[in-house]
Structure 1
């Protein structure tokens, strides 16, 4: 990596000098807002024409905040033309460019007053947008994910990978902070996979993969932040959409309703999904060695019937009592659950020194497990625009209350009598309350120089009760076991403040620098456990430069923290498989990540783009699942034999060095191809094994091709591959998934029908995972039923109406659903 980074920095230096010698760096910036509501106008076209020749020399499209920036202008006099459907065209006639930056400040667009019977507004953003600190994936035309859930969409996001089990990594790091509409939620603390599987893809507007979060963001998540933005509609009137999917593996549906009049908007949604019951065969073959040298061969062969379901609902509003004030509020309810039930045949043999069995026992185990959460989220956000353009005060309050639950039951009997001789049942209901209060302030010092500062408090309270019962053969009943049962209380308080600045440097660099300080105080009520408070200073620094022809280069450094989540600290022992026990670790220390990224972005005139990134991530106190085998293991007053126990531990130091290439290529007007390749070398220094070093190289590749057919029909295919990789205790398997989809739009593109097929040629995906420790070797094979077929229906409703606006005294454009809602 060091030679690559050195070479890239040299190229940057040469390119900057060449650019500075041959091209003017003058630019025009500004913001476009709605004259009636003072809200930003997104995707407005801004064209620059020479005042003398009337020739268009450059242009841009406004972003989500209404901001535009047009670079590489020579000195002269220009005319700026702004246009967007539903608004009157506007021109700024004489704009003199002589210095470096010309700021047009805020330009307002008046709603169109043309008389129309009915209009459908169509427009869409680029599917992938590379911004200075993040990658934005817009899901409007992602038809292979239309019948799926958030996990299916995440597979398409550059630098994000999702495995068969629903584990998500960003740039090769699994410690990712997940947000919904920019806010945290307690639903992610119990089971991240279940939470992501409860959000239908039809509800998602876009996904932001924030790889270089600035000081304004919470420091949580060494891998970065993934923000899932749900669909809304800011057009006037009443409109909405409905989506329904039926399939052989997954079913879901969603409804969105939007109402907006003048300066007040209201939106509501409901979605539900169900993963149908599926049977997953599995086998474990392991040999363990005791300190005496005796060996035991354990063979487990069985299946689990698994199903998952969930639903989400919510209502929100936004109100602008004046052009300077905006109030936004929302409340939502989330519920999801999963359940599995199965039978396992077990053969356990004691081996002599020659590896021959000397005794064998045959066991049958019936087991089941359940998990889930019910949670309520609510938030209130006040935004105040002050005197200066860009001067803003933002006050946010958000909170969530969740009731996570997990339970299991297992009973074992000896063959052939089938008489129960051992078993355990356990449940751990709990409460998880989170509150976030923040105040943010931005202040422009001069043109191109903005200072941001703010404070935040995060309060989290977790309580949990473990109720364990052990099967007693003499009584043929489950008896409460006080030695294994417990109560857990976890109280975390985070107090944070930050300061950051955005400014130009040396006339060719754009700099965003900041630092965040966080004080964390944790109290835990669990025997023999104490967690000291700690402080973290989290700096961030981004250098970027924009070249001509839509090119840019950035160099970023960020420091991040990974604090343990509820599911990581809860010491509840899941004994659904008493030979392989999983539990939490309340003694986990926070992981610290230092992340470096050198990225180059190029957008082509034909609509294609490419992004190349060199990545280096260094994690100290690195947290990973760790397995230890015990010949005998005491839990309460019960002794378990030949048991592996897995929980998360602070391993040591992990180094991730990688390169990522992603891009989009329009082969012809009807055919577009998008792809993403990422190669990562992982090096882990395991301090639990006296500094033992493990190395592994993993490469991931995905390719998406879409072909536009006549009569509003489109075909799409998507393939995703991840190679196997060595881990600190074995090997993680390779994975290959692929999808095909077809969509037909009709009724003026307000309705559509789609067909999807996932891995249609193979019923199962075989996953072989190996674990090696000093005293045992285990091979686990799981056949995951992944083949599925589905059909989806979507409908958008609402139309344009023109009514007299009383307060403003002119006509206002009222409603129409956009093509991407």
Structure 2
């Protein structure tokens, strides 16, 4: 905990140092709104300049309601400057502060969007690609050239503090237990295969990604690593408009279409996207040495083979928003997602057993033919009612969302033994299931006074999972697969979460901004599985953020959040995957929730040329830490079948994990045409493994990525991106290093309504070699996988329709529907 106390000491020394210089008590207040939509402009910069000396006196940043308060001002005549990306800068001169009144209210100040007119098309100014906000990092992906031919996983690689490995595993600040949302709402598609789900969303559909590292009490407590919210593109302009995107490549193909219609106070949005990862061959080897302490023999297993892997999926949806009046708004959506992945291949196996004198006593040559497939089809629907009450900022929000998914996993494998009387053996498994999730929430926000807001709400989460495991065993006498009732089962899993929260946002001593809250969650779990019982449990989840704004829009924050990681469907289901009978994977219905205590001390510095830098000290402490764990068995019984020389991997509550790290991210326009963005993270990981009597594992991992964009004349852009992650020790071995890189260019034409792009990924190497080691007390394995990663792609996009800002006479325009993080 020493780094935490040093961080807190540093934070308060900075804040009190700033306060010691602040001896004046005049202040200026006001509210910033968008001139075209009348919406609050949050995180706008407000600066106070002395008109006689032109010296900057103080500044502030608007909150979520657009309100600002600049304190500690002397008497005099000042200029108030308001600025935000995408808006015309505004200056209000001759603001006089004097006399007995300590507060000067500027009421409402409107900002006009930056507009460039091209023929009949209206284009607004672009936001920064990376925005650092008090509780999250926002990555605006619309202008990300190198990712447009890819999928959501490719975009996530560029989000600061997010890492994605070759297999599609995602971590936020070094923690893989991340809560994923789409447009602020959960979906059952993430519960079956997260990698498949993220691979089914084309990058061209993504508007932005929010990496919420310090979620407040309003958010669900699920996800010790934090929350990643994927916001899809939409359009709130009048008329009919849309866009089409197509990508063809050597490894990935996808296409998407959006259509928007808006008439006055009613709008409809429809979308469809599909993607396909073409079949590719992945060679792999395993060299494994295991000891049987019972008969003192040693067995060496050599596996050499390949898998032909492919993936496909599509997404579709329809949504509407209806501004019933200036005070009432109704938003609804319905969607269907479907995706699948499959693999098939051959593996040559050589297994040799040695006695204590290292003399071979048994040798086997085996050929295995295997195949597997994961798929899901899921419906999602939601209805959201927003009621604005009498006070400015007083709001009631009622949200109902639900999803119903039908996951299905199956595999088959048959082994042929050279020169043995029983020439064949094998198993086949099929696990159809249902996963239904329902979320009902009511939120209320009440402004007590300027700068003092109280929020409260309740939520119910209902999840019902049913799964069937139909297992068959190959019978040589009948030369066919026969149903095995001893391995087959039915699973029923029901979880209910009842939650309530209270949070407040206020300012203390006119220099310290505080956002504090607490959330209480009661979890009730019922599972119908032999010898399995999960008691209900309660969790109190506090959150606290201190922040202070300096001049020139600098800010510092100190945040503490507590989070919970409950197991997902794929982790709970005890289904044993025997596609490789020597390396079995399974779920664990007895997993307990992981508890995470997260600290972050961050400093943000924007520059006048549009650049910015953010540095954070991070400490994450997870108890009942959940990790994959491998156990070796010389002999393992499943039903009435016995498997020899087997490793079984499932997720276990290991013990305690400490993550201490430093994250540095920023962007810098080197010239008017060249811009650099980068992210560097160093993490020191310490894991106390209670399954091995408190054994301690230490490991240091560092990750670095760099993105360079160069703007050529005639709307031609060049971009390069590289990402590196070092190897790191795990509790049972070592995880490999990884290096990926992309090059791309894009040409815009037809008044920037159309573009063509070309992308090359790892063009100089066909494969990325991944060498992973796993060690236990009686087992050591080296696994090598050659991942086919080189690819080339071409993408086409086209925007159509007349875009115009036009306010209907009955349209209140009091709501902003750009899919914020609405989950609570």
TM-score range normalised by the length of the shorter chain: over 0.9
Superposed CA deviations along residues 526-565 of structure 1, whole A, max 9, x for unmatched, are 1111100000000011111011122111111100000010
- Specify the alignment match of 1:761 in structure 2: 764
Say which of 778, 786, 811 aligns to 2:781.
Answer: 778
Q: Is the contact between residue 331 and residue 377 of structure 1 (CA under 8 Å) also seen in structure 2? A: yes
- The alignment partner of 1:755 has SS state of strand
- The alignment partner of 1:121 has SS state of strand
Deviation at 1:506, TM superposition (A): 2.2
RMSD value over aligned CA atoms?
3.1
Superposed CA deviations along residues 63-119 of structure 1, whole A, max 9, x for unmatched, are 986666778865456677889999999998886556787665656789999999613
Say which of 502, 507, 511 aligns to 2:510.
Answer: 507
Pick closer, same or farther for the CA change 1:233–1:114 going to 2, 3 Å.
closer
Q: How does 1:163-178 map to 2 (within 5 A)?
A: 163-178=165-180
- Specify the alignment match of 1:528 in structure 2: 531
- Specify the alignment match of 1:17 in structure 2: 17
Pick closer, same or farther for the CA change 1:27–1:713 going to 2, 3 Å.
farther
- The alignment partner of 1:585 has SS state of coil
Deviation beyond 4 Å, 4+ runs, structure 1: 22-25, 37-117, 416-420, 800-809
Query: What is the rounded CA distance, in whole Å, between the counterparts of 1:247 and 1:168 in structure 2?
Result: 24
Say which of 244, 249, 252 aligns to 2:251.
Answer: 249
Pick closer, same or farther for the CA change 1:63–1:203 going to 2, 3 Å.
farther
- Specify the alignment match of 2:667 in structure 1: 664
Say which of 394, 397, 420 aligns to 2:397.
Answer: 394
Query: What is the rounded CA distance, in whole Å, between the counterparts of 1:803 and 1:582 in structure 2?
Result: 57
Pick closer, same or farther for the CA change 1:638–1:20 going to 2, 3 Å.
same
- Specify the alignment match of 1:649 in structure 2: 652
Query: What is the rounded CA distance, in whole Å, between the counterparts of 1:376 and 1:602 in structure 2?
Result: 43
Superposed CA deviations along residues 763-784 of structure 1, whole A, max 9, x for unmatched, are 0000000000011100000000
Query: What is the rounded CA distance, in whole Å, between the counterparts of 1:619 and 1:594 in structure 2?
Result: 6
Pick closer, same or farther for the CA change 1:423–1:570 going to 2, 3 Å.
same
Superposed CA deviations along residues 723-747 of structure 1, whole A, max 9, x for unmatched, are 0000000000000000111011111
Deviation at 1:123, TM superposition (A): 1.3
Q: How does 1:298-309 map to 2 (within 5 A)?
A: 298-309=301-312
- The alignment partner of 1:188 has SS state of helix
Say which of 189, 192, 195 aligns to 1:193.
Answer: 195
- The alignment partner of 2:204 has SS state of helix
Query: What is the rounded CA distance, in whole Å, between the counterparts of 1:113 and 1:700 in structure 2?
Result: 39
Query: What is the rounded CA distance, in whole Å, between the counterparts of 1:594 and 1:503 in structure 2?
Result: 23
Query: What is the rounded CA distance, in whole Å, between the counterparts of 1:283 and 1:103 in structure 2?
Result: 71
Say which of 365, 369, 374 aligns to 2:372.
Answer: 369
Residue 614 (structure 1) aligned with residue 612 (structure 2): no
Superposed CA deviations along residues 182-224 of structure 1, whole A, max 9, x for unmatched, are 0000000000000000001111111110101000000000000
Superposed CA deviations along residues 548-607 of structure 1, whole A, max 9, x for unmatched, are 122111111100000010000001111000000000000000000001111111111111
Question: What TM-score do the two structures reach when normalised by structure 2?
Answer: 0.92
Query: What is the rounded CA distance, in whole Å, between the counterparts of 1:115 and 1:721 in structure 2?
Result: 41
- The alignment partner of 1:549 has SS state of helix
Any gaps of 5 or more consecutive residues in structure 2?
A: 819-824
Query: What is the rounded CA distance, in whole Å, between the counterparts of 1:808 and 1:445 in structure 2?
Result: 28
- The alignment partner of 1:567 has SS state of helix
Pick closer, same or farther for the CA change 1:684–1:83 going to 2, 3 Å.
closer
Q: How does 1:390-539 map to 2 (within 5 A)?
A: 390-415=393-418, 420-539=423-542
Query: What is the rounded CA distance, in whole Å, between the counterparts of 1:301 and 1:55 in structure 2?
Result: 71
- The alignment partner of 2:121 has SS state of coil
Query: What is the rounded CA distance, in whole Å, between the counterparts of 2:499 and 2:222 in structure 1?
Result: 12
Q: Is the contact between residue 496 and residue 519 of structure 1 (CA under 8 Å) also seen in structure 2? A: yes
Pick closer, same or farther for the CA change 1:22–1:331 going to 2, 3 Å.
same
User: Is the deviation greater in 137-146 or in 586-595?
Assistant: 137-146
- Specify the alignment match of 2:278 in structure 1: 276
Say which of 549, 552, 561 aligns to 2:555.
Answer: 552
User: Is the deviation greater in 434-443 or in 79-88?
Assistant: 79-88
Q: Is the contact between residue 71 and residue 510 of structure 2 (CA under 8 Å) also seen in structure 1? A: no
- Specify the alignment match of 2:155 in structure 1: 153
- Specify the alignment match of 1:135 in structure 2: 137
Query: What is the rounded CA distance, in whole Å, between the counterparts of 1:44 and 1:457 in structure 2?
Result: 35
Say which of 324, 332, 335 aligns to 1:332.
Answer: 335
- The alignment partner of 2:168 has SS state of coil
Pick closer, same or farther for the CA change 1:539–1:83 going to 2, 3 Å.
closer
Deviation at 1:33, TM superposition (A): 4.7
Q: Is the contact between residue 325 and residue 811 of structure 2 (CA under 8 Å) also seen in structure 1? A: no
Any gaps of 5 or more consecutive residues in structure 1?
A: none
Q: Is the contact between residue 364 and residue 418 of structure 1 (CA under 8 Å) also seen in structure 2? A: no
Q: How does 1:556-595 map to 2 (within 5 A)?
A: 556-595=559-598
Deviation at 1:668, TM superposition (A): 1.1
Query: What is the rounded CA distance, in whole Å, between the counterparts of 1:352 and 1:114 in structure 2?
Result: 80
Say which of 358, 361, 386 aligns to 1:358.
Answer: 361
Q: How does 1:592-611 map to 2 (within 5 A)?
A: 592-611=595-614
Query: What is the rounded CA distance, in whole Å, between the counterparts of 2:649 and 2:471 in structure 1?
Result: 19
Pick closer, same or farther for the CA change 1:142–1:109 going to 2, 3 Å.
closer
Q: Is the contact between residue 440 and residue 461 of structure 2 (CA under 8 Å) also seen in structure 1? A: yes
Q: Is the contact between residue 178 and residue 225 of structure 1 (CA under 8 Å) also seen in structure 2? A: yes
Deviation at 1:11, TM superposition (A): 6.3
Pick closer, same or farther for the CA change 1:692–1:321 going to 2, 3 Å.
same
- Specify the alignment match of 2:821 in structure 1: none
Pick closer, same or farther for the CA change 1:49–1:269 going to 2, 3 Å.
farther
- The alignment partner of 1:793 has SS state of strand
Deviation at 1:120, TM superposition (A): 2.8
Superposed CA deviations along residues 256-304 of structure 1, whole A, max 9, x for unmatched, are 1111121111111111110000000000000100013210000000000
- Specify the alignment match of 2:322 in structure 1: 319
Query: What is the rounded CA distance, in whole Å, between the counterparts of 1:87 and 1:429 in structure 2?
Result: 52
